[in-house]
Amino acid sequence: MKHMDLLKLSPPRILVTGFALIILLGGILLSLPVSAAPGKAPLPFIDALFTSTSATCVTGLVVADTGRDFSTFGQVVIMLLIQVGGLGFMTMATLVALALKKRISLRERLILQEALNQSSMEGIVRLIRKVIIYSLTIEAVAAIIFTIRWSFDMSFGRAAYFGMWHAVSMFNNAGFDLFGEYKSLTGYVDDFVINAVAMALIILGGIGFIVMSDVMDYRNRRKLSLHTKVVLSCTAFLILFGALVIFIFEYSNPKTLATLGFGGKILGSFFQSVTPRTAGANTLDIAGLRQATQFFIIILMFIGASPGSTGGGIKTTTFTTLIAGIIAMIRGKEDIVLFRNRLAKDRVLKALTITMLALILVIFVSMLLSTTEDYNFLMILFEVTSAFGTVGLSMGLTIHLTVFGKIMIMLMMFAGRLGPLTLAYAIQPNKEKELYRYPEGKIIIG
**Rounded to whole angstroms, how far apart are CA atoms 445 and 248?**
38
Reported as a single tens digit per residue, the pLDDT across 177-186 is 998 778 888 8
Reported as a single tens digit per residue, the pLDDT across 240-269 is 999 999 999 999 999 999 999 999 999 999
pLDDT at 378: 95
Q: What is the pTM of this model?
A: 0.88
Other residues' Cβ atoms within 10 Å of the Cβ of residue 305: 30
Look at residues 331, 354, 369 and name the one whose alpha carbon lies nearest to residue 423.
Answer: 354
pLDDT for residue 3 is more than 50: no
pLDDT for residue 2 is more than 60: no
pLDDT for residue 24 is more than 90: yes
pLDDT for residue 155 is more than 90: yes
**Rounded to whole angstroms, how far apart are CA atoms 225 and 415?**
28
What is the arithmetic mean of pLDDT over 44-54? 95
Which range is least confidently modeled, 252-256, 288-292, 379-383, 434-438? 434-438
pLDDT at 9: 60
Task: Using pLDDT thresholds of 50, 70 and 90, give the confidence band for residue 1.
Answer: very low
Which range is least confidently modeled, 10-14, 161-165, 319-323? 10-14
Reported as a single tens digit per residue, the pLDDT across 193-235 is 999 999 999 999 888 878 888 888 887 887 888 889 999 999 9
**Rounded to whole angstroms, how far apart are CA atoms 284 and 385?**
19
5 DSSP 8-state letter: H
